[in-house]
Chains A and B, each alone.
Chain A
Amino acid sequence: MSVPATPAPWTVGPVTRTDFVRYQGASGDMNPIHHDEEFARAAGFPTPFSVGMWQAGLLGTYATDWLGAENVRGFRVRFLEQVWPGDTLTCHGDVLREYEQDGERRVDVELTCRRQTGGTAVTVWSTFVVPDAAQSEQEATHVA
């Protein structure tokens, strides 16, 4: 068993209000600041901005394509910069360490979602059980 190679960075965007509101409907967080122009402007923002948890969810998608949906054991999100309509986001991952715990191989990874400005929107520290060879082959086939 070994950790599958880090996938190429994944680019998403330009992101749209439709992306935000679709995520809002799926998650149940209907805060109007993410979809209502008048509400956002009244609160001092030029436009609605994305839900931080959407960017976190994109990193979840990137990480589970890499290491397997069933294998996630920890996912810690830190919200940094806001994401605006028209932004292009790039998801990227790095292996921090591999180790044994409770008789399982585990890997800690750091995931970042950056804006086109280079600013980091969201950072995630995540732990996965290392997938077995058969499973990682299936995931690799899927990603390809």
Chain B
Amino acid sequence: MANPDAVGTRGAPFRMDVERGKIREFARATRSTNPGYLDAEQPVVPPTFLTTTFFWQSGEADPWPAVELDQRRGLHAEQEYTFFGPPPRAGTRLTCQSRISEIYTKQGRRGGELTFAVMITEFRDETGRLVAQGRLTGVETARPPAAESRAGEVTA
């Protein structure tokens, strides 16, 4: 069961360097041949690239464990990225910080209560300007979802 007291928990700020080679690797893994990613000297990041915080955010920078979602019943329900201008470019050093913004429950369509938890991550450039925001929604179902109908993947 999720811990409602986790709302407001903040991770420590962490750094993320946006790198050209990493953008190329990510673009190719998502089957992009767009020269905007592959040929540009300072490409912008693809729409879902900021998920690569996996390489930069750990330990005290990651407030998600405070939610205490049951991993066996936990799913990635939604993921949103918002860009306040063109996406950040290779060569940018981002300062990032995550916080647990919401935990709420809803009645599931097939019965049982669903618990949702939301983590917001802010991405700021070297001048402190907010350039992007990530919003992860995880859900804990009342029982383990059936293999064929299971949505998304288990969240980290």
**B47 to nearest A CB, angstroms?**
4
A75 near B48 with CB under 8 A, answer yes
Of B26, B83, B153, the residue contacting A74 (CB under 8 A) is B83
Answer yes or no: B14 CB below 8 A from chain A CBs.
no
A27 near B54 with CB under 8 A, answer yes
Answer yes or no: B13 CB below 8 A from chain A CBs.
no
Q: How many A-B pairs fall under 8 Å by CB? A: 141
B46 near A69 with CB under 8 A, answer yes
What residue in chain A is nearest B133 (Cβ atoms)? A74
**B1 to nearest A CB, angstroms?**
20
Give complex CA distance A34, B75 in Å: 14
**B142 to nearest A CB, angstroms?**
17
Of B31, B53, B86, B151, the residue contacting A61 (CB under 8 A) is B31
Which of A31-79 touch B at CB < 8 Å?
31, 33-34, 44-46, 49, 51-54, 56-58, 60-61, 63-65, 68-79
Interface size on A, residues (CB 8 A): 45
B82 near A82 with CB under 8 A, answer no
Give complex CA distance A41, B31 in Å: 28
Q: When A31-B154, A64-B36, A73-B83 are in contact, do A57 and B46 touch as well, CB less than 8 Å? A: yes
A64 near B83 with CB under 8 A, answer no
Give complex CA distance A44, B77 in Å: 20
Q: When A57-B29, A69-B37 are in contact, do A74 and B75 touch as well, CB less than 8 Å? A: no
B34 near A142 with CB under 8 A, answer yes
**Residues of A close to B35: CB separation below 8 A:** 142
A31 near B147 with CB under 8 A, answer no
A79 near B32 with CB under 8 A, answer no
A79 near B152 with CB under 8 A, answer yes
Answer yes or no: B17 CB below 8 A from chain A CBs.
no
Among B33, B87, B156, residue most surrounded by chain A Cβ atoms (within 10 Å): B87
Which of B84-99 touch A at CB < 8 Å?
84-87
B147 near A46 with CB under 8 A, answer yes
Segment at the interface with B among A1-9, A18-26, A92-100: A18-26
Q: A27-B29, A77-B80 are in contact. List 9 more A-B contacts (CB 8 A).
A: A29-B51, A29-B54, A29-B156, A60-B48, A69-B37, A76-B81, A77-B78, A79-B153, A82-B150
Which residues in A have some Cβ–Cβ distance to B below 8 Å? 12, 22-23, 25-29, 31, 33-34, 44-46, 49, 51-54, 56-58, 60-61, 63-65, 68-82, 126, 139, 142
A sample of 5 cross-chain residue pairs with beta-carbon separation below 8 angstroms, ordered by A number, consists of A33-B153, A57-B47, A64-B34, A70-B86, A74-B82
